[in-house]
Structure 1
Amino acid sequence: MGGHIDLYLDIASLYSYIALIQAIKTQDLLKQHSVEIDIHPFFLGAVNAGSGNKPPWTLPAKAVYGVHDSRRSLHAVGLSNVSPPGDLMQAGRTMVPLRALLYIKAHFPAATYLATWRALFHAFWTLHQPPITPETLEDTLSSIPANTNVASSSPPETLRKGQDGERLFSASEVAEILRAEKSAEYKNTLRETTQRALDQGAFGAPWLWVANAATGASEPFFGSDRWSHVYAFLGLPYQDVELLPPGAAKGSEAKL
């Protein structure tokens, strides 16, 4: 056993939000199996353009089905009060927050990095305030409480300007994050990370590249509903979906 999972996400991707919650909930158990999971910001717009893919909501049949699938998938991870923030084409220009995440990943503890992901997704999909400009990103970063529980499926709390409470980032740290995201270093890092996923065959998000330490093999996986395939590839013990006989527990009580 043992291995490595590279998980590529964009805050404009609803299924990336779902995958983040799944990864947070399983990361400690994965470590017990000697599997590390590394979360990378990448720009989904460039992945779509580079692969020739189109957002599913631009295709009428997929858009209709997506209403049902997203509702089921959100319920499965305990997320509620989630919906698109209006014009997804405009809101999907997420380069600013993605570059900021790259800087935070490199300069702050892992817990801070994950708390920032949660806050950015919450701002985008629940508050409908996409943090895609320096100004809106500053507002979001300044509102994250220091005690954010990233493992909770409950909506993250936010602190308004002037409201008492310890912030995750100080005012000077927010200013430094905003300065860094404009730099050539993090513009290049985002391009390189996105290109790495494209080179692996990425065509959407969430994108996973999984390496099995025992066999030396690596393979791609796509979507937030492929974890059983990932576990099987890594040789990990897991319970898959199982149909129960009549008279057994039903619905959510029957889940493994």
Structure 2
Amino acid sequence: MGGKIECYLDVVSPYSYYALLYLEKNREVLKSHDVDIEIIPVFLGGINVGSGNKPPWTLPAKAKYSTYDSERAKKYFGVPGIKTPSFFPILSLPPQRALTYIRAHHASLLIPAFLTLFSAMWIDGHDISKPDLLAQALSVHFSPNETKAILEGASQQQYKQELSAKTQEALDRGAFGCPWFWVTNAAGVGEPFFGSDRFHFMWEFLGLPWKAVELLPSGQAKAKI
């Protein structure tokens, strides 16, 4: 076995939140199979433009369906408190550039910071595209001086370019949304996967043991997720 999962995420996408939660839930099991996880901040707006995709809320049929799918996903991934904030969507460049800086200088805190920013926006309803609210969220993990350095770094050309480069990398790998995954198996073969509900296909591609969804006969207790 063995392999690698490269996961491209943006805080503006709740399904990116679900994907990160699920990967973290299974991190130790994946590690036991020698599968590494790499989390990569990207700019979803750039992916949409570059791929020609349109956000689901701009298409009436997708928007209508999303009201059902969102409730199902919140229940499945165990985050019932998620709600779409009144200011949605945001221009996610500021938080994504900040996360790009964190990835370069505080790699061990990238995932905790990502999860905190997701929670700040999607559960607490804070507009993390605004510097003061972004700083408030980051202060959970970083000192005042570190937070200041992160925000200053996020405005530097180096990290703007790095975020742009990773967004283009995702596009070059076929991305049209987030979460986007590039999964490489033990043979060195890579394939793309999209969305927070394709993990069973990833496990199959990686050659990992997994259990399929099973429908129970009448009278048996409902299985817990």
Q: TM-score range by the shorter chain?
A: over 0.9
The residue number in structure 1 matching 2:99 is 101
Mapped partners of 1:130, 1:11: distance in 2: 11
What do the CA deviations read for 1:187-241 (whole angstroms, capped 9, x no partner)? 000000000000001000100000012x221100000000000000000001110
1:184 aligns with one of 149, 157, 160: 157
Mapped partners of 1:117, 1:96: distance in 2: 13
Mapped partners of 1:237, 1:139: distance in 2: 42
Unmatched 5+ stretches in structure 1: 145-167
Partner-residue secondary structure (3-state), 2:39: strand
Partner-residue secondary structure (3-state), 1:120: helix
The residue number in structure 1 matching 2:127 is 130
1:135 deviates by 2.5
The residue number in structure 2 matching 1:240 is 212
Partner-residue secondary structure (3-state), 1:12: coil
- Does 2:43 match 1:43? yes
User: For this pair of structures, how many residues does the alignment match?
Assistant: 225
TM-score by length of 2: 0.96
The residue number in structure 2 matching 1:3 is 3
1:18 deviates by 0.5
Partner-residue secondary structure (3-state), 1:20: helix
1:109 deviates by 4.5
Please list, as runs of the form range in 1=range in 2, the aligned pairs for 1:146-185 lying within 5 A after superposition: 168-185=141-158
Partner-residue secondary structure (3-state), 1:81: coil
Mapped partners of 1:229, 1:48: distance in 2: 24
Q: Which amino acid aligns with 2:159?
A: Y
Q: Which amino acid aligns with 2:210?
A: Y
The residue number in structure 1 matching 2:22 is 22
CA contact (8 A) 2:87 2:127 kept: no
Partner-residue secondary structure (3-state), 1:88: coil
The residue number in structure 2 matching 1:155 is none
CA gap of 1:109–1:52, structure 2 versus 1, over 3 A, is closer
1:247 deviates by 2.0
The residue number in structure 1 matching 2:79 is 79
TM-score by length of 1: 0.85
Q: Which amino acid aligns with 1:105?
A: R
1:255 deviates by 4.1
What do the CA deviations read for 1:69-100 (whole angstroms, capped 9, x no partner)? 111111111102211112434x1x11111111
1:183 deviates by 0.7
Partner-residue secondary structure (3-state), 2:26: helix
Q: Which amino acid aligns with 1:185?
A: Q
Identity of aligned residues (%): 48
